[in-house]
Structure 1
Amino acid sequence: MRAPIGFRISNRRKSLKISQAALARLIGISPSYLNLIENNKRDIGGALLQRVAHHLQIETADLTGDDEQKLLQDLEEAYADPVVESLDFQPDERRQLVAQYPASAGAIARLHRAYANAVASADNYADRLRSDPLLSQLLHQILSGITAVRSSAEILEDVPDLDEAERKQFLGAIGREARALSDVARSLIGQFDSSSRVAGNVSAMREIDDLIIEQQNYFPQFERVAEDLRRELDTRGTFGPALLVEELERRFGVRTQIGGSSGIEDFPGQYRFDAGERVMWLQGSTTLATRQFQLARLLGELTAADVMRETLDAATLTSPTTRRLAARAMGSYLAGAIVFPYSRFLAEAEGLAYDIDQLRQIFNGSFEQVAHRLVSLRRPGEEGIPFGFLRSDPAGRLTKHFPLPGLLLPNSGHACPLWSIYGAFRQPETLLRQVVRFSDGSRYLFLARSLQRRPGSYREPATHISIMLACDVLHADRTVYASGLDLDDREADVPVGPTCRLCTRRDCPARQEEMLTPDGPRSVTRLPLIPQEFGLGDSG
């Protein structure tokens, strides 16, 4: 669902008592074209939308209805839940609810979120109890340990003529079994805790999403810290890993170690900071871009510790897990702001038509780092193209996302199988571009590329990820990736949905799950060969 921008323009214009002809003259278009926009028959975006907002004395976000878009998307999930999907909802009911009773719509969305978290937690515990072989094994170990302790204790109690050596032997056995029982019990508790953390992560990621959306993925307090720090670094030498290593040593007494042992046996990560020893360890196989980014992140977090703490304290974060994940996200944001200074990066991006590969070369960054920074160019009055961001593993599971108002990006699980984020795995290290159209008529430019992360050794398997950027097609002609595309040719668009269960395209051959519309027409791609009204072998 898309917010009715045209209606907002019309209502705002009328409230200011500006005629349609006068506004059209001010923004440089014909009155007839403005009439089409106000009746939601023409899309509007980019510079034209900014001119409209300027002359109507209103923020662009107030016209586009970004907050309402997010609420509409939350209601989409709530209304598609199997518990309520069979109810006879009106086609435009969600939009009307958001428009007329936004507080009630928000209450429904919050209640559904709480319900989904509770169901996820219950399902995780039920799965543990029903089918987890490790749980069964741990329970058998506990039973065996109790039996052994009981046996030794009964011997001590019932056999009075044991000599001292035998008594010590049985006491030692009881001690060993008790310690083993303690370890097994901790493992058992850990299994339940890990299940709870998995369920909690769903809620944690939603809270972080809310924080990012509330800030429009732009945090001015971190930008100010990054600008001051980068300005000082540039006076000391050429920005890069070597300078960052020197500054960490000079300012905070942190020694950097590249290669060798991380200090933890079988540590799987590429980098680690040992706060006690004041050592920043980086795996020897890490790229220069990774070293630069992580060193900048550490320098930023140490420099801006108070700012980070204030930001986290001010946010609505209900658990230690959420706070830890939010702190990690804030640290990465701060690192991006240091490595890619806002104004310079935006100027280079605009000048190069958002060519990611050229931006990588200029700033010595990785594809993923540059994509992250493009998403955060939301400074009021100095904005870049609004992008959404997704990352997927080879199994199709979404591992990171930054939302774009209007575009329903799944929080977790899998997205539409037709999205280019999955096609990129079939063409490694090649950027795929794709113009897609959703069933509500909204159109987006998708840019996706798969990446391989360097293994640390021959025995370590290489890992792959896929990165996707998405922007409204209205902004596509500002990018180099629109070259050769006929953006007006809607017939060339790829018809897609958000996920199969939320997609209303009944004729999609890529569908993997049924739509959540049991009372509607049946999907022709999932019918049995023999009509289900007749049984096999019926005689009359």
Structure 2
Amino acid sequence: MAAGKLYVGRKVRDLREAHKTTQAVFAERLGISTSYLNQIENNQRPVSATVLLALADKFKLDISDLSAGGGDRLVSALAETLSDPLFANYIPSLQELKLVSQNAPGFAHALINCHRAYRQRSEQLSSLDDRLDEQILVENTPYEEVRDFFHFVDNYIHDVDQQAEALAQELRLAEQDTFTTLSQFLGSRYGVRLRKDAEVHAAIRRFDPVSRELTLNQYLPAPTRDFQIALQIAQLHGAETIDAVALAANFKTQEALEICRIGLHNYFAGALLLPYQVFKDTAAELRHDLELLSARFGASLEQVCHRLSTLQRPGAKGVPLFFARIDRSGNITKRHSATKLQFARFGAACPLWIAHQAPGTPGQIMRQLAETPDGVRYLCLATQTSKAVAGYRNNRPTFTLALGCEITYADAFVYADDLDISNQRGFDPIGVSCRLCERRDCASRSVPPLRQKIAVDHHLRAMIPYKL
């Protein structure tokens, strides 16, 4: 497929304003006319390769930062919002969506938030009308607000990531036993003593700030135990940085702020155990073999997959991936995508996606070549995992981990070695969700797409009882 035109007017304008220059001076340094620069900044013309090279040479612009990942996420979210029947009289073109997301991202986010609030109120009224124990059966707004915060910053928090990586280098964590090194650091730097709780149903982790005791459940798997120690270090060592990031996000409620702090503590812990550059280089060396990465760093598969999805540091990005964690009911409890594939904000994922087959093959990493309706092809991986404290009577929640990349990056993955990625027929047709997918011949469709009318022929029955 031919590469799309690059409209990055807002980024060019921000770069010019950061250098405190007028359009005339900026254009002269780039070797273009002022009118051409004005058209670029207003997204009336794409940026040419010559201008891109001049921006990199004259103004030290990192061209990799102009990837469309963030824009794709916002365009996808905006498109899904406007696909609601509420906007039935207006069908925006892709170009319109791009213009809004690139020129007025704040307005796009405001519209998405407004639509989310509308849906939540509608669902609340519906749940009350049905008198289902008078419970509001919708996702909590603070959680959704925090989820979107991480989603739209590309799941990468630079200040937190760098501080955690610097600490990992200081402790020479890659050369030492993780548990011993982190335990000794907590004791020597912060006076925290570790103790074990042999109670079978004890909490995973408990910290007493007065006695400076960190109590860990004795039956935790080693990766979970180490992660909880790293999380305690995040709360003590990374507190100032984490609080600054959370406060700068300007959340609407204190609940959202505290939930974000939890997410940032977890982020710091993951970045400490799997420091950015070392982990990125090792992933490339092992060709993203998830099990080998897990063994090399003493981490769980979920920790490895999640960390791979955060490798979006400007100037040193890893392979752009999508990552999701799905529970047994099909709920996506974690999600991020640095690819064109964006997960639906409402409703279930496509039933043809390999993630839904993983529960039937526990312990195996399943593979799928897939193509979305926009013609983009992917290598998809899925495996079932569980999060539990040891013990026969302890609850063992199981999840499916899904990970993947666009097919152009498949050679970076050991899982693609024996797959014929040149065979177009070898790619399964998948979508984002039934309500957004416009494939006409899918026998697995659960509901009609929102943007298409249906026709019913009572004398003809195919796999689905209507035509689009």
Is TM > 0.5 for Structure 1 vs Structure 2?
Answer: yes
Which residue of the partner structure matches residue 138 of structure 1? Answer: none
Per-residue Cα deviation, 1:8-29 (whole angstroms, up to 9, x for no partner): 29999xx9789xxxxxxxxxxx
The amino acid that maps onto 2:167 is L
SS of 1:119's equivalent in the other structure is: helix
Q: Which residue of 2 aligns with 1:73?
A: 76
User: Does the 8 Å contact 2:146/2:259 carry over to 1?
Assistant: no
After superposition, residues 267-416 of structure 1 pair within 5 angstroms as 269-411=203-345, 413-416=347-350
- Residue 212 of structure 1: how far off its partner (Å): 4.3
Task: Give distance in 2, aligned partners of 1:209 and 1:10.
Answer: 22
SS of equivalent residue, structure 2 residue 171: helix
Q: Which has the larger radius of gyration?
A: 1
**Inter-partner Cα distance in structure 1 for 2:179 and 2:74:** 43
The answer to whether the Cα contact below 8 Å between 2:319 and 2:409 also exists between their aligned partners in 1 is yes
When residues 53 and 105 of structure 1 are mapped into structure 2, their CA distance, relative to the original with a 3 A threshold, is closer
Alignment partners' CA distance in 1, 2:258 and 2:101: 35
SS in 2 for 1:256: strand
Q: Determine if the alignment matches structure 1 residue 120 to structure 2 residue 120.
A: yes
Q: How many residues align?
A: 427
Report the secondary structure of 1:448's partner residue.
strand
**Does structure 1 retain, via aligned residues, the 8 Å contact 2:384–2:398?**
yes
User: Distance in 1 between the 2:365 and 2:324 partners?
Assistant: 14
Normalised by the size of structure 2, how large is the TM-score?
0.80
Determine the structure 2 residue equivalent to 1:485: 419
Cα distance in 2, alignment partners of residues 337 and 97 from structure 1 = 34
What value does the CA root-mean-square deviation take over the aligned residues? 3.5
The residue that corresponds to 1:8 in the other structure is: 6
Distance change (3 Å), C-alpha of 1:406 and 1:101: closer
Q: Equivalents in 2 of 1:498, 1:449: separation in Å?
A: 19
**Which of 495, 504, 508 is residue 429 of structure 2 equivalent to?**
495
Deviation at 1:325, TM superposition (A): 2.0
2:78–2:97 contact (8 Å) kept in structure 1 = no
Indicate conservation of the 8 Å contact 1:360/1:367, yes or no. Answer: yes
Residues 62/299 of structure 1: CA separation in 2 closer, same or farther (3 Å cut): closer
CA distance in 2, matches of 1:125, 1:255: 50
Cα distance change on mapping 1:427 and 1:279 into 2, 3 Å:
same
CA-to-aligned-CA distance 1:170-218 (integer Å, 9 cap, x gap) = xxxxxxxxxxxxxxxxxxxxx6xxx4xx74634642444234433x332
What is the distance in 1 between the residues matched to 2:318 and 2:446?
Answer: 36
The CA distance in 2 between the partners of 1:393 and 1:363, in whole Å, is 25
- Does structure 1 retain, via aligned residues, the 8 Å contact 2:194–2:215? yes
Tell me the equivalent position of 1:140.
Answer: none
**Unaligned 5+ residue runs, structure 1?**
19-49, 136-190, 532-540
- Distance in structure 2 (CA, Å) of the matches to 1:488 and 1:52: 34
State the identity %: 28
Take 2:179 and 2:346, find their aligned partners in 1: how far apart are those partners?
34
Change (3 A) 1:274 1:132: farther
Structure 1 residue 364 displacement after superposition: 0.7
> 2:439: which partner in 1?
505
CA distance in 2, matches of 1:101, 1:380: 21
Shift in alpha-carbon separation, 1:386–1:102, aligned structure 2, 3 A = closer
- The alpha carbon displacement at 1:373 in A equals 1.4
Query: What is the match of residue 210 of structure 1?
Result: 149
* Contact 1:272 1:282 (8 Å CA) reproduced: yes
Q: For residues 289 and 370 of structure 1, what CA distance do their matches in structure 2 show?
A: 11
**3-state DSSP of counterpart to 1:346:** helix
CA deviation after TM superposition for structure 1 residue 500, in Å: 0.8
* Residue of structure 2 in register with 1:232 after alignment: 170
8 Å CA contact 1:98, 1:105 repeated in 2 = no
Structure 2 SS opposite 1:110: helix
SS where residue 465 of structure 2 aligns? coil
1:121-270 aligned within 5 A = 121-124=121-124, 126-128=126-128, 130-133=130-133, 195=136, 199=138, 201-202=140-141, 204-214=143-153, 216-234=154-172, 238-261=176-199, 269-270=203-204
- The alpha-carbon deviation at position 108 of structure 1 amounts to 5.4
Deviation at 1:428, TM superposition (A): 0.3
Q: Which of the pair is proportionally richer in helix?
A: 1
Aligned to 2:91, which of 80, 83, 89?
Answer: 89
Report the Cα offset of residue 303 of structure 1.
0.7
Letter in 2 for 1:407: L
Change (3 A) 1:211 1:522: farther
C-alpha separation between the residues in 1 aligned to 2:394 and 2:379? 36
Q: What runs of 5+ residues in structure 2 fail to find an aligned partner?
A: 13-27, 33-48
User: Structure 2 CA distance, aligned partners of 1:233 and 1:103?
Assistant: 44
2:198 and 2:219 in contact (8 A); partners too: no
The offset of 1:99, in angstroms, is 2.8
Taking the aligned partners of 2:119 and 2:325, their CA distance within structure 1 comes to 26
Letter of the structure 1 residue corresponding to residue 98 of structure 2: V
Quick check: 2:150–2:156 contact (8 Å CA) kept in 1?
no
Note closer, same or farther for the CA distance 1:63–1:226 as it changes in structure 2 (3 Å cut).
Answer: closer
Q: Cα–Cα, structure 1 residues 475 and 510, in superposed 2: closer, same or farther, change >3 Å?
A: same
Q: Would the alpha carbon gap of residues 416 and 246 (structure 1) be closer, same or farther in structure 2, given more than 3 Å must change?
A: same
For residue 76 of structure 2, give the secondary structure of its aligned residue in structure 1: helix
Following superposition, the deviation at residue 106 of structure 1 comes to 5.7
